[in-house]
Structure 1
Amino acid sequence: MLEHELLNQFYRELFELIGEEATYIIYQNYRGLNLTVPKKLYDSKKIAGKLSSLDKVDLQTKQEFARKYDYSQRQIERLLLSKQK
């Protein structure tokens, strides 16, 4: 369907990453738009909720959450404080 060698560089890279069908779907739905993609994959409020639902949140737990969800330990501590208020 798509002629890979003729694609715009952005769509060619997308094609190589996610395949032809997904690239075409993105093209159909978002062409002409400027997209800003959030740096963080996970929602900080939801992470804070998950943390506050734990029985015990110690230093090791904070470090694990920081690594797992790509946040700093300081950010994890701030999320906990904001949820406690």
Structure 2
Amino acid sequence: MDVTPELLQESYAQLNEVLGTEQMMKVFEIYRGRQISFPMRLYDRKKVAQKIIAEYNGHNLVQLTHKYDYSQRWIRQMIRQNDSKTE
């Protein structure tokens, strides 16, 4: 299908700009007509919590907050929950 970029709906125009026409058409074919919302965070909370628990060494809280884009408060909470489970 030939695509005329200036006629595209705004969301498809943005996808076309970012992904290119071929990939935009794949998205169109798979998802057309659906309402899609993307989570604010890239990573899954449960999976991040497991990684943080595995990587936390008692001194790297700030590094983990930057690496996974979660607050220090949330990371401390995950560590405390894990500590209470292991006791």
Short-chain TM bin:
0.7 to 0.9
Deviations 1:3-29 (A, max 9, x none): 111111111111111111111111111
CA-to-partner distance for each residue in 1:44-76, whole Å, 9 max, x for gaps?
Answer: 211221222236232xx1111111111111111
| Alignment of 1:74 onto 2:69 | no
Runs of 5+ unmatched residues, structure 2: none
Find the aligned partners of 1:37 and 1:8 in 2 and give their Cα distance. Answer: 19
Structure number with greater CO (CA < 8 Å, separation at least 6) is: 1
Match in the other structure for 1:11? 12
Amino acid at match of 1:74: R
Give the TM-score, by structure 2 length: 0.82
C-alpha RMSD of matched pairs (Å): 1.6
Query: Aligned residues, how many?
Result: 83
1:6 and 1:55 map into 2 onto residues whose CA distance is 51
Which structure 2 residues correspond to residues 1-85 of structure 1 after superposition, within 5 A? Answer: 1-54=2-55, 56-58=57-59, 61-84=60-83, 85=85
Superposition deviation, residue 78 in structure 1: 1.6
Q: Classify the secondary structure of the residue corresponding to 1:83.
A: helix
The residue matched to 1:42 in structure 2 has which SS?
coil
Once the two structures are overlaid, the 10-residue window that deviates more, 67-76 or 49-58, is 49-58
Identity of aligned residues (%): 34
